[in-house]
């Protein structure tokens, strides 16, 4: 079985580490760099990028470990997709999707940077917002997983056809 460049690099540098580090990392989820683990990592990260909860980075790492994915890849993809610059557009899109699903008109609001504003506005928009976040997260995660698996399948087919 052919290993990825990252996996090769990681195993090469693992050999240079002290014995206790090798033992700790030998069965670590960070070493999971096969196609399935990468597809799962991407799906977990994109699912969690739509879920508006605090400490989502920690949850992504725990989900990746629990679901036999690579936590380092999941964490990195999460922060590329959902960061302070992209968070507002992602959550606004999720809110609009929730409105569309529930067939509700958008609620007008003015932005303020206070906890009172967050609590007041969330009390008004929580249903379409959370529904949109959940539907968007599940859809994005599932589509990402399927697209990654399709990508790897097509890649292996093209490698096979070029070798013949």
Q: What is the pLDDT of residue 100?
A: 96
Q: Residues 26-82: pLDDT tens digits?
A: 556 666 778 888 999 999 999 999 999 888 899 998 898 888 888 889 999 999 999
Residues 6+ apart with CB under 8 A from 149: 35, 36, 39
Contact between 64 and 41 (Cβ < 8 Å): yes
Please give the Cα distance from 48 to 60 (Å, whole number).
7
Distance (Å, whole) CA 76 – CA 141: 15
What's the pLDDT score for residue 28?
62
**pTM assigned to the model:** 0.76
The model's confidence at residue 101, banded by pLDDT at 50, 70 and 90, is very high
Confidence of residue 6 (pLDDT cuts 50, 70, 90): low
């Amino acid at each position: 079985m052919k290993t990825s460049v990252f996996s090769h690099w990681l195993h090469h540098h693992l050999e240079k580490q002290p014995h206790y580090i090798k033992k700790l990392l030998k069965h670590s989820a960070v070493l999971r760099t096969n196609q399935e683990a990468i597809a799962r990592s991407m799906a977990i990260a994109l699912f969690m990028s739509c879920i508006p909860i605090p400490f989502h980075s920690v949850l992504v790492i725990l989900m990746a470990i629990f679901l036999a994915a690579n936590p380092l890849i999941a964490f990195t993809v999460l922060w590329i997709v959902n960061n302070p610059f992209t968070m507002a557009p992602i959550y606004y899109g999720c809110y609009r999707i929730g409105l569309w699903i529930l067939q509700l008109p958008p609620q007008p609001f003015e932005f303020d940077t206070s906890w009172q504003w967050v609590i007041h506005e969330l009390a008004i928009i929580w249903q379409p917002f959370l529904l949109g976040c959940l539907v968007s997260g599940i859809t994005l995660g599932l589509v990402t997983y399927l697209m990654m698996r399709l990508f790897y399948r097509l890649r292996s087919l093209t490698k096979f056809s070029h070798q013949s």
